Structure formats: C-alpha cells, structure tokens
Amino acid sequence: MKLQITGVITTIFLMNNVFASDGEALYGQLCASCHTSNAGVKIAPPIFAVVDHVRQAYPQREDFIAQIIEWVDEPKAEVALMPGAIRKFNLMPKLGYSQNDVEEIAEYLFDKDTVLSKEYKEHKKKGHGSH
C-alpha cells in the first residue's frame, strides 16, 4: 500500500514536470542545444544573456514576445541586438520553427526572467558579460 502511494505520487510529480510548462519543454527541445547556460561548449550566447539584451530593448512583455518571434522566424544581422555575438558565433540559423512554439518559449523566457537575471549577474561578476 505504501509503495503504491509512492508510485502514484511519483507519477503525478513526473507528469507535472512534463506538463508544467510547455514553453520550458519547448525551449529545452528547440533552443537549449545551442543556447546552453553551462560554461562548457560555446556555440551561442547563453540564454540569460540573450534574454537580458532583448529585455533591455523591449521591456514590455508583448514587445519582448514579438521580438523573439520575429527574430527566430528570420535572424537578420542588420537588426541584431547582439552584434558581438554574431562576430563570435556567426548569425543564428533560420530554423523554421512554428510560430506557436516560439511564442510559448518567448512567454516562458520573459516570465522566468528573475531566475535568469540572477544567473546573469553571477555570469557578469565572473567578468564574462562585459561586451
């Protein structure tokens, strides 16, 4: 009986993790492979740096979301907010993702900002964010 209950609780916990935030799951599938926040391999700027730049330029939630959608739909060097990142990593490729998916990701990234900012501050403290 005890075991069964543990099993049920575990299942609920796992389901919650999967369905808690589609944006988070989609971000993991579609963006995290390049925008990793671990300090190892570097093929793109870490996501908290990206969010920080976009958010400074577009502090309103709707504008932020619109900007992410437009960018992912077609990255263009002329309008990039992070020209230094293009020099370092080359322009982000056009990925052909569905706008719905990207919208959910953008919402997730905006709403998660407090967490991301904390990471970013630590990143800056270590002197990697000064460009």
Residue type, 121: K
58 lies in the site for ligand HEC, by CB under 6 A: no
> Is residue 48 within 8 Å of residue 31, measured between CB atoms?
no
Of 7-15, 17-25, 27-35, 115-123: span binding ligand HEC (CB under 6 A): 27-35
Q: Is 116 in the site for ligand HEC (CB under 6 A)?
A: no
129 binds ligand HEC (CB under 6 A): no
102 scored as a contact of ligand HEC (CB under 6 A): yes
Question: DSSP assignment of the chain, as one string?
Answer: -HHHHHHHHHHHHHHHHHHS-HHHHHHHHHTTTTS--SSS--SS--HHHHHHHHHHH--SHHHHHHHHHHHHHS--GGG-S-HHHHHHH-PPPP----HHHHHHHHHHHHHTHHHHHHHHHHHHHTT----
According to the binding rule CB under 6 A, does residue 65 interact with ligand HEC?
no
Residue 68 sits in the site that holds ligand HEC (CB under 6 A): yes
Nearest approach, Cβ of residue 14 and ligand HEC (Å): 24
Under rule CB under 6 A, residue 66 binds ligand HEC: no
Q: Which residues bind ligand HEC (CB under 6 A)?
A: 30-31, 33-35, 44-45, 50, 54, 68, 71-72, 75, 80-82, 85-86, 89-93, 95, 97, 102, 105
